[in-house]
Amino acid sequence: MKKLILLLLVITSTTSFAQTDSTFIREIYDEALEKGEAYENLRSLCKDIGARITGSAEAEMAVKWGEKLLKSYNFDNVYLQEIKVPHWERGTTEAAWIENEAGEILKLDILALGGSIGTNGLITGEVIEVLDVKALQQLSENEVKGKIVFLSQAFDKKNIQTFKSYGACYPIRGLGTNEAGKLNAKAVVIRSLATPEDDFPHTGTMHYDEDVNKIPGAAMSTNNATLLSEWLKKGKVTLKMEMDCKTYPDVTSYNVIAEMNGKDDKVITWGGHLDSWDVGEGAHDDGAGIAHSIEALRILKELGYQPNHKLRCVLFMNEENGNMGGKSYAKIVSEKKEEHICAIESDRGGFLPVGFDVNGTEDQLKMVQNYETLLNSFELYRFRKGFGGVDIGPLKEYYPNMIQLGMAISSQRYFNYHHTNNDVFEAVNQRELELGSAAMATMVYLMDKTLK
Amino acid sequence: MKKLILLLLVITSTTSFAQTDSTFIREIYDEALEKGEAYENLRSLCKDIGARITGSAEAEMAVKWGEKLLKSYNFDNVYLQEIKVPHWERGTTEAAWIENEAGEILKLDILALGGSIGTNGLITGEVIEVLDVKALQQLSENEVKGKIVFLSQAFDKKNIQTFKSYGACYPIRGLGTNEAGKLNAKAVVIRSLATPEDDFPHTGTMHYDEDVNKIPGAAMSTNNATLLSEWLKKGKVTLKMEMDCKTYPDVTSYNVIAEMNGKDDKVITWGGHLDSWDVGEGAHDDGAGIAHSIEALRILKELGYQPNHKLRCVLFMNEENGNMGGKSYAKIVSEKKEEHICAIESDRGGFLPVGFDVNGTEDQLKMVQNYETLLNSFELYRFRKGFGGVDIGPLKEYYPNMIQLGMAISSQRYFNYHHTNNDVFEAVNQRELELGSAAMATMVYLMDKTLK
């Protein structure tokens, strides 16, 4: 009975809280939907800067772009945070062909995996199809040596959340080349980590152990992968490939930061990542998160909100291949003995926002779920335990008690665009982007009001 | 206290219900996502048939297409239901220009409103801008006579659900031409009922009173409308237009019906509409609803489901301009004294399904909400009172106690495509369409299990 009374008390207090806040949240949404600047900011980032892989001239331009834009909004503080980042370039040559015993030749749609070495000229090898990294690890060196390993694991379409399928396939991209190198394979090609059957190869990061025999790795389109499997069922297939991608020495880059001062110095931080892969325009990944994050701070300032805590929007550098932005940020702010109480990330595209995932305690989840009725009226429904984000992740080590939130965004279309030439501004819908911005501003506001 | 015990009982019974059903619903989703045929069926309807306005040769082809497809699935009964439907054609000439006092001329992107008379050659008139139908009704005949009325009401972007904005603007398209005719205007042009600012005019149905002075009506793109308002602020603007659209005598057409027999003859019916406007391919409106509806029945049959009631999938004709399919269906089945206990409609596009709107009593709403926890795991969250659908609407007159459900689908992108040349197969995402099919099959299953 005590529990039931407590339940009623919670319901009552939630309701009165909701009444106080719903007006302000309505103003946030009105601003985002009627006078929003997120869509134009995303257009500018995609078209005026373009794809912006860490270490590139475009990434440097993106830093300038972010700093100038944030300064134009007259936030209390705008500054750059210097960090060291890796520098990998795709180069100018990237091609592959398969040939079967009948002499049929097909040019593949490929992209080198990020971090791969080049081929040092045209290489040729017999293709051996292996389902996944586990299966690869069970092969002997004799079976693999000198061959080109084709890792063909496909997305499990049955998962309603496509990130689950991505997670399951991640090893073929992240670890497959390294494992095949140990067995002295000549190179690795993988089926792209993608939902649809189409012609777009998806790049993404991969990893070499320090002392491993480094071999090249590339991704082919899902259509190519399906066809290659069919060819292999009929007989021997040879693959030729050439790539001149290369890793250069680390360079200096920056996280770009804007703040509104609060009544105390405790920090609520949020952001997305400013870098992208070097193909397409990095519109969904993660131009959208950048647009969401900047817009959230702009809206709160525009509405004259007086924060309780320091509100800090961070445009992180180098999420895609090293996460040096996130790691360095966490180290720097902890060394300064700043107190971080909350971090929020948007890195799941500019699609329809559906809620927030909470990386925190049961109590922290409940704190967020208390707003459920209120947020339902803005079409946000999903509040569960889950992942916050790659950029904000390293903060947990230094601030284990902080709450981290990842904006939950419908994932159905994400892996049609992720890390491809297809990830361009035109693939983002204005309203969906604006709703994401409003959702981000809303959660920042609620956390600022609630957290002591 | 009694209420609380009741609450606990409800919670307990819901949970055990969920455990019984979740396996079957999981199978529905697996079938839709892994072996789904909805996307291929939609491609075929869009590409092999195309746009299919009621009364056209394409609509006749669509009836044949639907009948053949349903027969190929070997359902218990597949048949055509004969109905009388209107027949309006756009003709071959459709153009308009505006000219300002400086002699600048601009060709407009226009589409005749469905049902409009033609212009009988090129007509010219001074443009008078009026916000909406209410404002028009307050003008005198002197102010309007001989002029071309430009109804410029824009979507309210602040509404999170875009259907609210559509509803608010609906009178300028549905009633505006008729009202301007009463004041002896020469013609009406409207700002398209659309979310984005772009170059696509949106057609849609309009209405003339029997004895009204009939004048032509057309819609221009939102970009055109914004520009025309700007020109009108600076001075007089003349509009020239020519359209040879025309209404022909009513013709015979059909609702296309497929059934699975149940343990009794009570009917659970669901569907979408087979007709579309005569532009684009009618992919979202309502090819998607057709694909959802056929796929729901296919999945239930494929999984070997044995229904309690008669399950009936209806591809309705003529939703867009007359609703003779829905009206006739209701009349025919009630005359046959069939007992209809539930009707479900999908007519909000092939985007992400988010839940179901219930047109029914509080108890019927609660019955659906009892499945909330179960459906949450399939990413369906929204169960509210709301609209069922245009096609199933007329059934309520004959079966006032039946429950009607409208599949709730994210509306953020709908009015980018609705009734335009832009509404093509390529605008539909495969996964989102498949999730809609699974949601439809799931709700049919749950209603069949629950309703006595």
pLDDT in tens, B308-339: 999 999 999 999 999 999 999 999 999 999 99
Residue B84 has pLDDT above 90, yes or no: yes
Per residue in B32-41, is it b (16+ CB within 10 Å) or e — as a string?
Answer: bbeebbbbeb
- Confidence (pLDDT) at A323: 98
Convert the pLDDT of each residue in A324-375 to its tens digit. Answer: 999 999 999 999 999 999 999 999 999 999 999 999 999 999 999 999 999 9
Residue A7 has pLDDT above 90, yes or no: no
Phi and psi at residue A220, to the nearest 5°: -115, 160
Long-range contacts of B380-383 (CB under 8 A, 24+ apart): B380/B353, B380/B354, B380/B355, B380/B356, B380/B439, B380/B442, B381/A354, B381/A381, B381/A382, B381/B354, B381/B355, B382/A379, B382/A381, B382/B354, B382/B355, B382/B356, B382/B357, B382/B408, B383/B355, B383/B356, B383/B358
- Confidence (pLDDT) at B1: 43
A167/A315 same-domain check? no
Residues of B in contact with A32 (CB under 8 A): none
d(C-alpha B420, C-alpha B415), whole Å: 9
Chain B residue with minimal CA distance to A382? B381
Residue A42 has pLDDT above 90, yes or no: yes
End-of-domain residue from the set B215, B244, B273: B244
Within an 8 Å CB–CB cutoff, is residue A369 touching chain B? no
A178/A299 same-domain check? no
Chain B residue with minimal CA distance to A377? B160
* ipTM of the complex in this document: 0.94
Residues of A in contact with B158 (CB under 8 A): 29-30, 33-34
- Confidence (pLDDT) at B273: 98
Q: Describe the crossing of helices A430-450 and A2-34 by its angle, rounded to 10 degrees.
A: 130
**A401, burial (CB in 10 Å: exposed 0-12, middle 13-18, buried 19+):** exposed
B128 lies in some domain: yes
Convert the pLDDT of each residue in A65-95 to its tens digit. Answer: 999 999 999 999 999 999 999 999 999 999 9
Residues of B in contact with A25 (CB under 8 A): none
d(C-alpha A129, C-alpha A150), whole Å: 5
A297: helix, strand or coil: helix
Q: How far is B158 from chain A (nearest CA, A)?
A: 5
Q: Do A379 and B162 touch (CB under 8 A)?
A: no
If you average pLDDT over residues B65-94, what whole number do you get?
98
DSSP code string of B275-297: ---SSTT-IIIIIHHHHHHHHHH
d(C-alpha A332, C-alpha B46), whole Å: 56
d(C-alpha A388, C-alpha A403), whole Å: 9
d(C-alpha B132, C-alpha A204), whole Å: 52
B84/B95 same-domain check? no
A309/A419 same-domain check? yes
- Asked if residue B404 lies in contact with residue B392, where contact means CB atoms within 8 angstroms, the answer is yes
Least confident range of A295-299, B5-9, B146-150: B5-9
B214/B310 same-domain check? no
Q: Do B435 and A412 touch (CB under 8 A)?
A: yes
A5 lies in some domain: no
> Which among A4, A157, A416 has CB closest to B4?
A4
B297 lies in some domain: yes
Interface test with B, best of A373, A410, A433 (most B CBs within 10 A): A410
- Asked if residue A188 lies in contact with residue A217, where contact means CB atoms within 8 angstroms, the answer is yes
B7 lies in some domain: no
Place A20 in a pLDDT band, splitting at 50, 70 and 90. Answer: confident
Residue with tokens 């009618």: B282
B287/B171 same-domain check? no
Within an 8 Å CB–CB cutoff, is residue B4 touching chain A? yes
CATH code for the domain of A347: 3.40.630.10
Q: How far is A38 from chain B (nearest CA, A)?
A: 15
Chain B residue with minimal CA distance to A433? B412
Within an 8 Å CB–CB cutoff, is residue A165 touching chain B? no
Q: Describe the crossing of helices A288-302 and A57-72 by its angle, rounded to 10 degrees.
A: 10
Number of domains in chain A: 2
- Asked if residue A319 lies in contact with residue A367, where contact means CB atoms within 8 angstroms, the answer is no
B103/B67 same-domain check? no
End-of-domain residue from the set A225, A244, A263: A244
- Confidence (pLDDT) at A19: 66
Convert the pLDDT of each residue in A371-398 to its tens digit. Answer: 999 999 999 999 999 999 999 999 999 9
CATH code for the domain of A197: 3.50.30.30
d(C-alpha B269, C-alpha B262), whole Å: 12
A98 lies in some domain: yes
Phi and psi at residue B254, to the nearest 5°: -150, 145
Per residue in B352-380, is it b (16+ CB within 10 Å) or e — as a string?
Answer: bbbbbbbbbeeebbebbbbbeebbeebbb
B232/B297 same-domain check? no
B359 lies in some domain: yes
pTM: 0.95
- Confidence (pLDDT) at A17: 54
B217: helix, strand or coil: strand
- The neighbour count for residue A396, using CB atoms within 10 Å, is 17
Within an 8 Å CB–CB cutoff, is residue A4 touching chain B? yes
If you average pLDDT over residues A182-195, what whole number do you get?
98
Nearest by Cα to B417 from B355, B351, B353: B351
- The neighbour count for residue A12, using CB atoms within 10 Å, is 10
Within an 8 Å CB–CB cutoff, is residue B452 touching chain A? no
d(C-alpha A229, C-alpha A150), whole Å: 9
The percent of residues above 70 in pLDDT, for chain A, comes to 96
d(C-alpha B230, C-alpha A445), whole Å: 38
A172/A272 same-domain check? no
B273/B337 same-domain check? yes
The sign of the torsion formed by the CA atoms of A176, A178, A184, A185 equals: positive
d(C-alpha B423, C-alpha B277), whole Å: 10
Strand segments (E) across B113-216: 123-130, 148-151, 187-191
If you average pLDDT over residues B162-188, what whole number do you get?
98
Within an 8 Å CB–CB cutoff, is residue B195 touching chain A? yes
User: Chain B, 209-268: which have a CB under 8 Å from a chain A CB?
Assistant: none
Residue with tokens 């509803």: B167
A223: helix, strand or coil: helix
A2 lies in some domain: no
d(C-alpha A85, C-alpha B202), whole Å: 50
- Asked if residue B177 lies in contact with residue B117, where contact means CB atoms within 8 angstroms, the answer is no
A208 lies in some domain: yes
d(C-alpha A415, C-alpha A154), whole Å: 12
If you average pLDDT over residues A268-293, what whole number do you get?
98
Question: Domain range for residue B81?
Answer: 17-88+249-450
End-of-domain residue from the set B244, B269, B294: B244
B406: helix, strand or coil: strand
Query: What is the 3 state secondary structure string of B53-71?
Result: CCCCHHHHHHHHHHHHHHH
- Asked if residue B270 lies in contact with residue B296, where contact means CB atoms within 8 angstroms, the answer is yes
CB within 8 A of A281, min separation 6: which ones? Answer: A46, A47, A50, A51, A287, A423, A424, A425
- Asked if residue B169 lies in contact with residue B209, where contact means CB atoms within 8 angstroms, the answer is no
B400/B268 same-domain check? yes
Place B206 in a pLDDT band, splitting at 50, 70 and 90. Answer: very high
If you average pLDDT over residues B353-377, what whole number do you get?
97
CB within 8 A of A35, min separation 6: which ones? Answer: none
Q: How far is A286 from chain B (nearest CA, A)?
A: 21
A293/A317 same-domain check? yes
Residues of A in contact with B352 (CB under 8 A): 352, 410, 412
